[in-house]
Amino acid sequence: MREQAPETRLLPIAARPVAGHPEYQQVNRVDRDGAALKGGWTFLVNTTTRAVVRTVGDPDELDFETAMARAMPAYHRR
């Protein structure tokens, strides 16, 4: 008999626009009340090019320039 994989619990995610950067959406895991989970990952999704950048930080206080410099050093040198 084949073993079953352990149950995986998925948390919902939510996207919101990034202030000052209309081409980007910030995507985070959220709790059952819809609040972004702190201390986890953040994805920055460029809706124009469909590029995805993964970074970390406080989702409610995300500094876009710092997050991009940390995730993509070449972006910061433009």
16-25 per-position pLDDT tens digit:
999 899 999 9
Average pLDDT along the chain: 81
Q: What is the pLDDT of residue 24?
A: 93
Give percent of the chain with pLDDT exceeding 90: 22
The residue ranges of every structural domain in the chain are 13-76
Q: Mean per-residue pLDDT for 47-58? A: 86
Rounded Cα gap, residues 50 and 38, in angstroms: 25
Q: Has this prediction a pTM greater than 0.75? A: no
Specify whether the CB–CB gap between 14 and 30 falls below 8 A. yes
